[in-house]
Each structure stands twice: as structure tokens, then as C-alpha cells.
Amino acid sequence: MSRSSTPLPYVLLHEAIDDDIRRAVLAANPTQNHHFIAQAEQRQFAFNTEVNPQNQNVYRWPLRAHQLQSADSVNIEHSLGAHNLYTLCFIDNSAKQYNLESWFNRYESGLEAHIAQLRALAAPTAASDGIRAVLKLKLLSLLRNPYNRQHWFCRHLHRLYLPSDNTPATDFLTLIRQRPDVEHPLRKRQFGWHTGEYAPWLAALYGMMCDSDCAPSRFEHILAALLAPPDAITLRLYRYTHGQCLFADCGFAIQADTQHIRIAFGVAADMFLLLQIAQPHWQALANTAASACPLPSPPTLTLIDNDHLQRQTYNRLCLAQARQAVYGKSAHADDYLL
């Protein structure tokens, strides 16, 4: 595969000089299996944690009438990913490519320690590094997941980082369209893309994550706008000493009414996080996203232990809203629904 003749955007080739801002610089790497739900996230649901991370597995429940009927063991390294999904361009005479791995790794690193911190909390607490990091990664996974590109929640957030003059996204689009595999039929079939849809989606994702013209990135601005003001946001962490939590291939479960949007993320097999957003704040996001940085402190995190009715409700929502499958630590349906 050949590299595009179009020059790479400046930010890809030069380290930042601002010591106080962690700018993203793409690094060429050989990774071709790109996960839209990070392996680090999936490993929080692994049933064989005693083995090396590369050999860990999770149970996959294919959707059959949106019920839990039978589970298959799948290796996390080969689960919830796609070949060259986030590739910008290939390098001549090399197995390496430019992709989003290094930018995503900034949000994925340290996840296990952050979740251990949440598991150890003994009382409701103000914002912590752990909850901030987990929330960032869950929202990133939601936005980078191709299954979600037409979901109303994502489309609303997309409008915040797709201004009419999004120069970085335009630059990236030129490169992506030169990839020889840009219209690969397997990728189109897996995610339901029509001809011409994949490249703009990926370019917009690069534009969101890039901080060459907007430091912090547009993604950070979106997070800041979403989590401020704190009186419009509620965070609840549901934890369990027995009973299991699922996670869906779309990465979240959601409910909405005229007052609130409630979006839940599977954090680990023994916990899920609920983010509640007031509707007036949600509708006004477009007016605050441009200036809402740095990321504000999330509101107080409420801890709720062993509320099994909420766990069952969350798991059933995952089943109802997943695209192809749900995933978990147990091969027994009753562990999720009872």
C-alpha cells in the first residue's frame, strides 16, 4: 500500500512547544486491528484475569430477539475492532501507518488504576482523577464507535465540533480519500456505510481529536461544555458485590424524557456509571462548547451499592439498544437479569 503524496498536516510531524498543554502528535505504528471499544475497557469484564492481558476473554452474547440465550467466549484482542478502521494513511515500504492509536492512548492509559480507585471509595466524593478519566474515555468510546454515528446523542455532539470551516478535518479528508482501501466492502458491510460516507466520518473524528488549531482539542471543549454547569449534571456510580453488569457493543445505554437524559456506561463487571443531563442544558450546548475549557470538575459522585433493580434495568437497556451483541464476565444469563 502506498503513502499519499499529500503532505501530512504540520501537527503530525512536530512536537508541541507548549509545556502546559499535552498536544497530540501522531506516531507511525504497525497496529492494524483498531478497537472502537478499547481493550482496556473490555478487560474490566474479562472472566480469566489470571492470564496475560493478550489472552484474556469475555463472554459475547449475540442478540437473539434481544434476549440472553447463549454466550461464546471471545478473545478481547480480536473483539470489537475492525481492520484499519482509524487509519489516516500508509507508509511506503513499511508495515507502519498513521492512525489514531497514540491519540486514543492518552485517554486509555491508567484505566485499571482509575477503576480501582472508584471501587475503593467509601463515601460520596467530590471530583477525582478516577471519575474524570473514566468519564472522558466512555464519552470518547461513544463518539468513535461507528455503530453510533447516526444516534441522536452523537449527532447532537457532532454538531459542536463540525463548524462550517473545520480546516483540520478538511486536511485529513484529503489524505483519507487517497487510501486504496477507503471503500473496502467488508468495512462497509460491517457498519452499514454507503459509498462516500466512511472518509468524512473518520476525517471529522481526526478533526475532533486534533489540537493543532484548537488547544485543548475540540473533544476537550465538548467534554467541558457537557459537564458544566454542575447543577445540570448528576453522576451516580452503581457498585455490586454480587450480580453482573453487561456492556453493549455500542458502549452505552440511554433513556430520555422531557426533563433529563440519562446515559449509562458499563465501567466493570461489578459497576456502571450513570450520567444524568438536564434537558435545558443539553439543548443549550451549542452556545457554550466554543469557550468551555478547561474541563470543569464534575459534580459530587453519588455511590449506590447493591441496588439490583437498577442493575437489572441497566442490563435490559443494554440488551434492547445493542447493535449485534452484549458482553459480560459470566456465561449465565441469570447473573445479569436476577
Q: What is the pLDDT along the chain (338 residues), one digit of tens a residue?
A: 445 444 555 445 444 444 434 455 778 899 999 999 999 999 999 999 999 999 999 999 999 877 788 899 999 999 999 999 999 999 888 889 999 988 899 899 999 999 999 999 987 666 677 888 999 999 999 999 999 999 999 999 887 766 555 556 788 898 999 999 999 999 999 999 999 999 999 999 998 888 765 567 888 888 888 887 788 999 999 999 999 999 999 999 999 999 999 999 999 999 999 999 999 999 988 766 555 555 666 678 899 999 999 999 999 999 999 999 999 999 999 999 98
CA distance 193 to 29: 26
Asked whether the beta carbons of 330 and 59 are under 8 A apart, the reply is: yes
Report pLDDT for 310. 98
Predicted TM-score of the model (pTM):
0.90
- The single-letter code of the amino acid at 226 is L
Per-residue pLDDT at 72 = 95
- Strand 260-268 relative to strand 253-256, pairing: antiparallel
Start-to-end C-alpha separation, the chain: 51
How far are the Cα atoms of 228, 241, 248, 335, 336 from residue 308, in angstroms, in the given order?
A: 30, 10, 18, 11, 9
Q: Where are the alpha helices (DSSP H) in 166-262?
A: 167-176, 185-191, 198-209, 218-226
Helices (H), 89-245: 101-108, 111-120, 129-144, 152-158, 167-176, 185-191, 198-209, 218-226
User: Judging by beta carbons within 10 Å of its beta carbon (0-12, 13-18, 19+), is residue 250 exposed, middle or buried?
Assistant: buried
Res 299: pLDDT: 73
Spatial separation of the C-alpha atoms in residues 248 and 37, rounded to whole Å:
10
CA atoms within 13 A on the CB side of 255: 15
Record the cell numbers describing residue 299, joined without a space: 459534580
- pLDDT at position 270: 98
Distance CA 144, CA 206 (A): 10
Paired sense of beta strands 301-305 and 233-239, if any: parallel
> What cell was used for 56?
484474556
Written as nine digits, the cell of 277 is 443531563
Helix (H) or strand (E) holding 281: helix 279-283
What's the CA gap between 195 and 200, in Å, rounded?
11
Query: Alpha-carbon distance 215 to 218, whole Å?
Result: 8
